[in-house]
């Protein structure tokens, strides 16, 4: 029997003629299958490579929510800050000759009526002067009474020839002089009483005591300065610093909402005066907003104000639609090719209803309402409108 030796993959196999033919046949079949497998793998890899070059549509074309806000009626507002103060502040000092303060009757925060004493000045000397002048009035009246009696008796004796007409004239002059001295004494008494009454430091009007700068035992006079400060009728105001451009839109009577710094309470007020001049350095003017009294309103404090200067129409967007960066505020608009475009906008009033856009859009555009931070200009998206918009 003949044998044939064949080397396959480093192994030596001894086959007969029949076995050799069968082995070759099997090898051809196996090789064909392997070739088909390799071809299939190559085709699959090429297809996979093409897909990698073009990402799946779901990853490349995101779905974004858009809205076309149109035009809404929004209030035109001006925001500013400023200092709180008494609307009419009244300084109170010494109007008389002064002296030593014996009592102080009020404290800051007290309400007082017009003419109410705020502090009492010691007046023992003045009281004695009043008594002395009152006694002088009584002396002058007694002299005038005596002069009148003498004149009456003289007139009764004229007809009998005992008294001449010249004597009557003299006695009449004496009576008139005595009466004049009475009037002088009465006037001096009234003057002293007025001076004594002016020793008391009194409230010039009804209002709220803001500060007190006097204590019992203190010597005060015309040069002592302000001893009390009052807010007339307790009325307060905010002196808002308003930009020159905004100042022109304000009018007395505009409504306002004042929020003191450090608190959450808000107080309704009205503009009662708009400054006729503008600070040439700061380019600002003052709008004075009247506020009713409230314990939370403290003169000298700081507050913010929103003044409603009218109304108009503007697109109203949710806050999530408006983005901002160092260049300013902007929104993303979807164009006719469903591509993202950046649109710079000017923002107006921000309220619970949304953000009013005063310029940059008309309201007919498709504006991305959210996820704007994840988009880039030129990116293709699939817009989906908000229901009801």
Domain containing residue 380: CATH number: 2.40.420.20
Distance CA 378, CA 341 (A): 6
pLDDT given for residue 8 in this prediction: 37
Quote the CA–CA distance of 312 and 349 in Å, as a whole number: 11
In a domain, 261, yes or no: yes
Supply the pLDDT for residue 351.
73
**C-alpha triplet 104, 106, 112: angle, nearest 5°:** 135
Q: Do 262 and 147 fall into the same domain?
A: no
98 and 160 co-located in one domain: no
Same domain assignment for residues 291 and 381: no
Q: Is residue 337 part of a domain?
A: yes
Query: Do 285 and 299 belong to one domain?
Result: yes
What lies within 8 Å, CB to CB, of 18 at 6+ separation is none
Residue 201, class by beta-carbon neighbours within 10 Å (0-12 exposed, 13-18 middle, 19+ buried)?
Answer: buried
Chosen domain end from 172, 198, 224:
198
The single residue listed with the structure tokens 């649109």 is 343
Taking each helix axis as running N to C, give the angle between helix 165-197 and helix 124-158, from 0 to 180 degrees, rounded to the nearest 10: 160
pLDDT value at residue 4: 42
Does 277 reside within a domain? Answer: yes
Q: Under a CB-based contact definition with an 8 Å cutoff, are residues 381 and 375 in contact?
A: yes
Rounded-to-integer distance, Cα 177 and Cα 150, Å: 13
pLDDT score at 22: 63
Task: Tell me if 206 is assigned to some domain.
Answer: yes
pLDDT of residue 71: 84
How is residue 342 written in tokens?
A: 């950046």
Residues of the chain with pLDDT under 50: 1-16, 50-58
**251 lies in the same domain as 344:** no
Total structural domains in the chain? 5
Strands 201-202 and 63-67: unpaired
Q: Is residue 269 part of a domain?
A: yes
Query: Nearest-5° angle of CA 158, CA 161, CA 166?
Result: 60
Cβ pair 92, 204 in contact under 8 A: yes
Q: Does the global pTM surpass 0.85? A: no
Interatomic CA distance for residues 232 and 293, integer angstroms? 11
Give domain status of residue 348, yes or no. yes
What's residue 46's pLDDT?
Answer: 64
- Do 360 and 251 reside in the same domain of the chain? no
116, 220: one domain? yes
Residue 260 and residue 146 share a domain: no
Q: Which two tokens stand for residue 15?
A: 């086959």
| Residue 77 pLDDT | 81
Q: Note the pLDDT of residue 161.
A: 65
Q: Are 261 and 298 in contact (CB under 8 A)?
A: no
Domain harbouring 214, CATH code: 2.40.50.100
Burial 217-242 (b: 16+ CB within 10 A, else e): eeebeeeeeebbbbbbebbbbbbbbb
- Asked if 180 and 286 sit in the same domain, the reply is no
Edge to edge, the sheet with strand 354-359 lists 316-317, 354-359, 346-351
- CATH code of 251's domain: 2.40.30.170
For residue 45, give its domain range. 4-53
Q: Which residue has the tokens 């380019």?
A: 283
Query: How many Cα atoms are found within 13 Å in the side-chain-facing hemisphere of 284?
Result: 13
Q: Could you count the other beta carbons within 10 Å of the beta carbon of residue 163?
A: 16
**Do 253 and 228 sit in the same domain of this protein?**
no
- Establish if 58 belongs to a structural domain: no
């Amino acid at each position: 029997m003949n044998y044939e030796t064949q080397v396959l993959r480093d192994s030596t196999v001894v086959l007969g003629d029949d076995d050799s033919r069968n082995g070759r046949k099997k090898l051809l079949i196996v090789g064909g299958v392997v070739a088909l497998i390799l071809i299939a793998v190559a085709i699959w890899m090429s297809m996979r490579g093409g897909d990698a070059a073009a990402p799946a549509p779901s990853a490349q074309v995101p779905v974004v929510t858009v809205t076309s806000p149109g035009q809404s009626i929004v209030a035109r507002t001006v925001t500013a800050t400023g200092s709180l103060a008494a609307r009419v502040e009244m300084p109170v000092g010494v109007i008389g000759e002064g002296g030593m303060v014996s009592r102080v009757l009020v404290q800051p925060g007290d309400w007082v009526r017009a003419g109410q004493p705020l502090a009492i000045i010691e007046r023992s000397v003045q009281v004695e002067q009043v008594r002395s002048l009152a006694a002088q009035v009584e002396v002058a009246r007694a002299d005038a009474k005596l002069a009148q009696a003498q004149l009456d008796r003289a007139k009764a004796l004229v007809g009998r020839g005992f008294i001449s007409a010249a004597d009557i004239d003299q006695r009449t002059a004496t009576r008139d002089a005595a009466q004049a001295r009475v009037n002088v004494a009465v006037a001096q008494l009234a003057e002293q009483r007025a001076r004594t009454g002016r020793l008391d430091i009194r409230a010039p009007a009804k209002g709220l005591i803001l500060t007190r700068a006097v204590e019992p035992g203190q010597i005060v006079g015309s040069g002592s300065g302000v001893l009390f400060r009052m807010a007339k009728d307790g009325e307060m105001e905010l002196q808002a610093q308003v930009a020159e451009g905004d100042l022109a839109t304000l009018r007395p009577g505009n409504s306002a909402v004042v929020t003191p710094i450090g608190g959450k309470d808000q107080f309704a007020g009205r503009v009662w005066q708009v400054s006729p001049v503008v600070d040439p350095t700061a380019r600002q003017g003052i709008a004075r907003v009247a506020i009713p009294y409230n314990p939370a309103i403290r003169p000298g404090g700081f507050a913010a104000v929103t003044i409603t200067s009218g109304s108009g129409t503007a697109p109203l967007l949710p806050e999530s639609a408006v983005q901002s960066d160092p260049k300013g505020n902007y929104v993303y608009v979807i164009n006719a090719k469903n591509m993202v475009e950046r649109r710079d906008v000017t923002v107006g009033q921000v309220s619970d209803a949304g953000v009013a856009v005063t310029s940059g859009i008309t309201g007919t555009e498709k504006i991305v309402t959210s996820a704007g931070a994840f988009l880039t200009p030129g990116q293709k998206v699939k817009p989906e409108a908000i229901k009801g918009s």
